[in-house]
Structure 1
């Protein structure tokens, strides 16, 4: 049971990161669940930090 929950939350974080890299706004988070939304936003913030530091150059 714990592994399934961790996998779901890790997937939310990954999707948030991908959304941040692609330039989506944080208000477009598709999750309503508090935990999943928090992980999605964490991934989104990580992507914004990486973009700000020049990791992604177009």
Structure 2
């Protein structure tokens, strides 16, 4: 848990990915810091691509990271 809290870029990417897979808009990015925002946007783009490819629900479970 502590490692996840320390690496904010990785966490921003994961949250962006989750937002992209669920179909949320890019306007909901919560980060002001440019590095964290960029990580969130990269995750969002990858999540949207996976949603378009049909990797949602059970078919996209293999894309989740294990902690």
Query: Does TM, normalized by the shorter one, top 0.5?
Result: yes
Question: What's the TM-score once normalised by structure 1's chain length?
Answer: 0.82
Question: What's the TM-score once normalised by structure 2's chain length?
Answer: 0.72
Q: CA deviation at 1:17?
A: 0.5
Superposition CA RMSD, Å = 1.5
Structure 1 residues without counterparts, runs of 5 or longer: none
Structure 2 residues without counterparts, runs of 5 or longer: 58-67
Task: Say how many residue pairs are matched.
Answer: 53
Spell out structure 1 runs of 4+ moving beyond 6 A.
none
Q: Which has the higher contact order (CA 8 A, sep 6+)?
A: 1
